[in-house]
Amino acid sequence: AICYPLHYFTKVKPKTVQVCVCLCWMFAASFTGLLLKNNLQHPGRYNSCIGECVYDMNYIANVFDLIISFLFPITVIVILYIRIFAVVVYQARAMRSRIAVVTKKVTVKKSEM
């Protein structure tokens, strides 16, 4: 959408976006279900008093949960924002050079660049 805005809607269809969103939600639900499987099979096993909601997770599950639920999405988001930033800087420099060719005097603030 940033690099080729006119081609975006020909490459990305609404149905494809809906399928991707549904797959993400189904993955999240199944992943959480797997983590809570033991508590779902034996409800109340770890409760010591009425109304307490406790579930037991082992070390490997905690590390896997950290990677899948936090580190992987954050890494993807940072990489995408870096790519967007690089494209925006490239386009800003291209626009600045085009403006410089058309007009001799360019007054562009550093913060705008």
> Tens place of pLDDT for every residue, the chain, 113 residues?
777 778 888 888 899 999 999 998 998 888 888 877 766 676 666 666 766 666 666 788 788 888 888 899 999 999 999 998 998 888 888 888 777 666 656 566 667 66
Residue 85 is assigned to a structural domain of this protein: yes
Predicted pLDDT at 91: 84
Q: Whole domain around residue 27: which residue ranges? A: 14-41+55-112
Count of domains for the chain = 1
Predicted pLDDT at 1: 75
Residue 72 is assigned to a structural domain of this protein: yes
Backbone φ and ψ for 44, nearest 5 degrees, come out as 80, 5
Residue 49 is assigned to a structural domain of this protein: no
Residue 74 is assigned to a structural domain of this protein: yes
62 CB-contact burial (10 Å; exposed 0-12 / middle 13-18 / buried 19+): exposed
CA distance 49 to 62: 25
Residue 46 is assigned to a structural domain of this protein: no
Residue 28 is assigned to a structural domain of this protein: yes
Predicted pLDDT at 105: 60
CA distance 41 to 45: 9
